[in-house]
Chains A and B, each alone.
Chain A
Amino acid sequence: QSVLTQPPSVSAAPGQKVTISCSGSSSNIGNKYVSWYQQLPGTAPKLLIFENNKRPSGIPDRFSGSKSGTSATLGITGLQTGDEADYYCGTWDTSLSGWVFGGGTKLTVL
């Protein structure tokens, strides 16, 4: 059971938009920055979003992040088949004194 809660799977058609939620608590998302990671099949995770809504260099603006209270959301617009991957949210938990990740969400582009 992960500290951060994500839906196990989401799906949408190419060109459409999808959002992935990440729910936590006041000891993690509520008081810390959230980051999001994309893990394509058979590869290492890749940072998509940091500090809740900032994109590293090279990440297209089709990817966006937001945070409200103890929840965060990853948005992906203009879906492509190449976006099919597992997506994870992560943050620091002050009660646990460690990083916590969501259980991951598998995105299927139909």
Chain B
Amino acid sequence: EVQLLESGGGLVQSGGSLRLSCAASGFTFSNYAMSWVRQAPGKGLEWVSSLRGSGTSAFYTDSVKGRFTISRDNSKNTLYLQMNSLRAEDTALYYCAKGNSSSGMDVWGQGTTVTVSS
């Protein structure tokens, strides 16, 4: 069964850091681009960052550039999101998702909640 399982969310003060993890199973992880997508309470989906299967070519939405870093360990089938200098507006449910612009994001995790207190 293809599965994504996020972890690492929590409550952090403004300016703090968190590292999210996404453990993948059921598919050849290194063959696929992976993304982080977030959803603030009561709001729509917002793309955060994507990384190609090889680990090269990372992409970020403007609001997180310079603060967040996406990475992956293909030997551990795990995607990461290092989040520094967190702000209240980063408060959201963070999903990891598999896929690219052709296949669409075809597998989603259940999400991990990040709450930034000011």
B102 interface residue per 8 A CB criterion = yes
Distance in Å: Cβ of A83 to nearest Cβ of chain B:
18
Across the A-B interface, the 9 shortest Cβ-Cβ residue pairs: A35-B104, A50-B104, A92-B101, A99-B47, A104-B44, A44-B108, A101-B45, A47-B106, A47-B104
Interface SS of B by simple majority: strand
Name the contact of B95 in the complex, choosing from A45, A56, A91 (C-beta under 8 A): A45
Are A98 and B106 within 8 A (Cβ)? no
Contacts of B46 in A (CB 8 A): 101
Bound state CA distance, A90 and B47, in angstroms? 10
B32 interface residue per 8 A CB criterion = no
Contacts of B85 in A (CB 8 A): none
Given contacts A45-B45, A90-B45, A104-B45, contact A99 B104 (CB under 8 A): no
| Interface size, B (range) | 20 to 34
Interface SS of A by simple majority: strand
Contacts of B104 in A (CB 8 A): 33, 35, 37, 47, 49-51, 56, 90
B residues sitting closer than 8 Å to A (CB atoms) are 35, 37, 44-47, 50, 59-62, 95, 97, 99, 101-111
Interface centre among B44, B60, B95, B106 (most CB of A within 10 A): B44
Residue of B nearest to A43 (CB): B110
Distance in Å: Cβ of B48 to nearest Cβ of chain A:
9
Given contacts A44-B109, A45-B108, A99-B50, contact A37 B102 (CB under 8 A): no
Contact digits for A58-79, partner B, Cβ 8 Å, 1 yes 0 no: 0000000000000000000000
Name the contact of A33 in the complex, choosing from B50, B97, B102, B110 (C-beta under 8 A): B102
